[in-house]
Copies of this chain bind each other. A is one copy, B any other.
């Protein structure tokens, strides 16, 4: 039975990455040991971590001067770690959703925070465009994709100060101009791998500029200096990340991912716009390719539970919208096949027929 997994994350992963991980847990490469039993100081693991870093740099065309870290703790930890490392007096934040709000709340304890713009006035259904980034801020923080509200910044911003981006839910979904960012971070559990590991891509020259003492484990320099091996890293999660990155490369890289993601999103949003029973919640130009939020259209709100039951009977899972938005959220990460989106669209059409 094929399950169509539209969950927001942890989410659908490439079959080959799952198969390789399961095999390695039984035995890693004829070592006689499980992936879960090898030392993080072993040659085997060092090769895995090095390949994961180099694949990520290759896929995103990361320029010289940047380092990639694979850390435990989740993106929520980075909401604290970013200001700990980069905020001396003042930072600018773009408020585009719940995760941005959490990042802002943590940063406020480290210095002055200027929220340059917010889409809170319309329940985060758009990405603010007109704002000025203060030149005297230490950095400007954005959330490139808003997993909960389904909006996405589709371009890499030009920014006069160091640009920091939470890219948890759209990393690897499209080519990125990494040179425009000082720091990119996220949890792996959408496009990059399983829950349990975070990634940080940091331009080394932005580090070491704050006056405060940073706790060792929260200091990016600790992990840069030790190549993410200062303490025991999440070994198995990093293995799966490597397998996912190998898959992205084998499939044609982020250019191909973007092509597929655009095709999937077009298929779904076209149906949302055509089908009188449904309505999109986000300004069209800011609609996320990763998380499509939609609701029952006006007058049809009472059919929401019935539609969820209808799709559920056709092996579609994870479609329930976040409580902040309601309705539905179709998360369509890299590994979700077009066929799953077609199945959802078919459901929407059949449901329309049934409700005529």
Chain copies in the assembly?
2
Q: Which A residues from 79 to 109 make CB contacts under 8 A with B? A: 79-80, 102, 105-106, 109
A1 CB-CB contact with B under 8 Å: yes
Question: Which listed residue (B18, B39, B72) contacts A196, Cβ 8 A?
Answer: B72
Could you say which residues of chain B place their CB within 8 Å of the CB of A26?
18-19, 22
Say yes or no: B10 contacts A232, CB within 8 Å.
yes
A162 CB-CB contact with B under 8 Å: no
Expressed in whole angstroms, the Cα–Cα distance for A196 and B75 within the complex equals 15
Expressed in whole angstroms, the Cα–Cα distance for A233 and B196 within the complex equals 6
Interface residues of A (CB under 8 A from B): 1-3, 5, 7-13, 18-19, 21-23, 25-26, 31-34, 36-40, 71-77, 79-80, 102, 105-106, 109, 187, 189, 193-197, 213, 215-218, 230-237, 240, 315, 317-318
26 contacts between A and B (CB under 8 A): A2-B32, A7-B37, A10-B40, A18-B26, A18-B36, A18-B37, A21-B25, A21-B36, A32-B315, A36-B195, A39-B318, A72-B73, A72-B74, A72-B196, A72-B234, A73-B73, A73-B77, A76-B216, A76-B231, A79-B217, A80-B218, A187-B232, A195-B232, A196-B196, A197-B234, A237-B237
